[in-house]
């Protein structure tokens, strides 16, 4: 059985595009399979201000485009399809998509994660009508109106800061008594006069007629519920790793959150199969981290392929 490519990368976010660049630059034939649009979660970032080499904030869309172009300049190919399974037969990986079946010597899983839902009454019903998971996408529709941000991590703080440019009525709730976001980001939110932070708060229900009109909130340290008028609810409470294509594969292990466990070379329990970015079990999810992990995964894959070909440096 012959491989179609040396390296197949599943996912075209920062981890996948970084891996594609390093793999192609290392003279591997590289194919990136992306389901939606290259850039992944980075596309949702309004101003990326902490990526090395960019002293001024850069749009998530812009840096995604630059990463894609850079990978393409080195010879990486990008195709759009949905991957349903990955399995290894002998030394060949078989990647099944909704369009075709592809074979590679090595595979990198860089599929990222999708937003986690609140699972409360009204959330599903009002999604797209006031409930959103992307402030930069939908925030402008609610300019000068009262908006609720749910969450306490980096993403929630980032998005609350963005929304505070659109209105002076941002309410931010978090179920714990302090943020889990980076300290500098959390302090910026707390000092923002357009953001009212309410700790020890949860959202229990979203109501309205044709669109979001009210929310029912719960103050958990006082066991108190109350209703409040609200025009929009933005949800940022974590993410779910996209691992369905390898969920039943023997040798691939997952942590308690469902993320893929790897060693420091980004290798899973299967030789030649790697994971990088938000899909991987990692203590810190940032664009720069994903890019670094993608580079490591591609380097490791290149070494593995050299070993397969008997060309490993000794």
- Of 137, 177, 229, 263, which residue is the catalytic one? 137
Confidence of residue 1 (pLDDT cuts 50, 70, 90): confident
Does 130 share its domain with 53? no
Q: Is residue 313 part of a domain?
A: no
Residue 314 has pLDDT above 70, yes or no: no
Does residue 44 lie within any of the structural domains?
Answer: yes
Residues 86 and 188 in one domain: no
Residues 186 and 279 in one domain: no
* Domain span holding position 208: 117-235
Query: What local confidence, expressed as pLDDT, does residue 313 receive?
Result: 58
Q: Does 157 qualify as catalytic in the annotation?
A: no
Which one of 4, 91, 134, 306 is the catalytic residue? 134
Q: Do 130 and 225 share a domain, yes or no? A: yes
Tell me if residue 137 is catalytic. Answer: yes
pLDDT at 211 over 80: yes
CATH assignment at residue 294: 3.50.50.60
Q: Is 97 found in the same domain as 9?
A: yes
- Look at residue 258 and tell me if it is in a domain: yes
Q: How many domains does the chain have?
A: 2
Residue 30 sits in the same domain as residue 90: yes
The residue among 235, 259, 287 that closes a domain is 235
**Same domain assignment for residues 102 and 142:** no
Of 185, 208, 235, which marks where a domain is finished? Answer: 235
- Same domain flag for 78 and 36: yes
Q: Which of 47, 62, 91, 138 is labelled catalytic?
A: 138
Q: Does residue 216 form part of some domain?
A: yes
To the query of whether residue 6 is one of the catalytic residues in this protein, the response is: no
Q: Give yes or no: residues 231 and 122 share one domain.
A: yes
Task: Kindly state whether residue 176 falls inside one of the protein's structural domains.
Answer: yes
Quick check: is 226 in a domain?
yes
Does 314 map to a domain?
no
Confidence of residue 205 (pLDDT cuts 50, 70, 90): very high
> Whole-prediction pTM value?
0.77
Q: Quick one: 102 and 194 in the same domain?
A: no
Looking at the predicted structure, is the pLDDT value of residue 43 above 80?
no
Task: Let me know whether 20 and 101 are in one domain.
Answer: yes
Same domain, 80 and 123: no
- Final residue of a structural domain among 220, 235, 250: 235
Contact call for residues 104 and 272 (beta carbons, < 8 A): no
pLDDT of residue 265: 97
């Amino acid at each position: 059985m012959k491989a179609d490519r040396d390296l197949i990368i599943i996912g075209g976010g920062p981890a996948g595009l970084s891996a594609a660049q390093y793999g192609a630059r290392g003279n591997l034939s590289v194919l990136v399979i992306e389901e939606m649009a290259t850039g992944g979660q980075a596309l949702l970032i309004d101003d990326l201000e902490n990526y090395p080499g960019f002293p001024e904030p850069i749009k998530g869309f812009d840096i995604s485009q630059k990463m894609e172009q850079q990978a393409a300049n080195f010879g990486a190919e990008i195709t759009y399809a949905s991957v349903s399974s990955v399995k290894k037969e002998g030394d060949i990986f078989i990647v099944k998509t909704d369009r075709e079946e592809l074979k590679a010597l090595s595979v990198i899983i860089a599929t990222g994660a999708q937003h986690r839902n609140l699972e409360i009454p009204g959330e599903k019903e009002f999604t797209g009508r006031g409930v959103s998971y992307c402030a930069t996408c939908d925030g402008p529709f609610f300019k000068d109106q009262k908006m609720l941000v749910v969450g306490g991590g980096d993403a929630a703080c980032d998005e609350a800061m963005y929304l505070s440019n659109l209105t002076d009525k941002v309410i931010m709730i978090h179920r714990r008594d302090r943020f889990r976001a980076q300290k500098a980001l959390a302090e910026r939110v707390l000092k923002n006069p357009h953001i009212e932070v309410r700790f020890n708060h949860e959202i229990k229900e979203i109501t309205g007629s044709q669109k979001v009109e009210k929310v029912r909130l719960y103050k958990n340290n006082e066991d108190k519920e109350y209703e409040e008028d609200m025009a929009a609810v933005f949800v940022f409470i974590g993410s779910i790793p996209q691992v369905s294509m390898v969920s039943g594969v023997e040798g691939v292990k997952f942590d308690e959150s469902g993320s893929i466990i790897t060693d420091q070379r980004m290798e899973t329990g299967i030789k030649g199969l790697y994971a990088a970015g938000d899909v991987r079990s990692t203590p810190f999810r940032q664009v720069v981290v994903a890019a670094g992990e993608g580079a490591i995964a591609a380097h490791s894959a290149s070494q593995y392929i050299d070993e397969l070909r008997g060309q490993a440096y000794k």
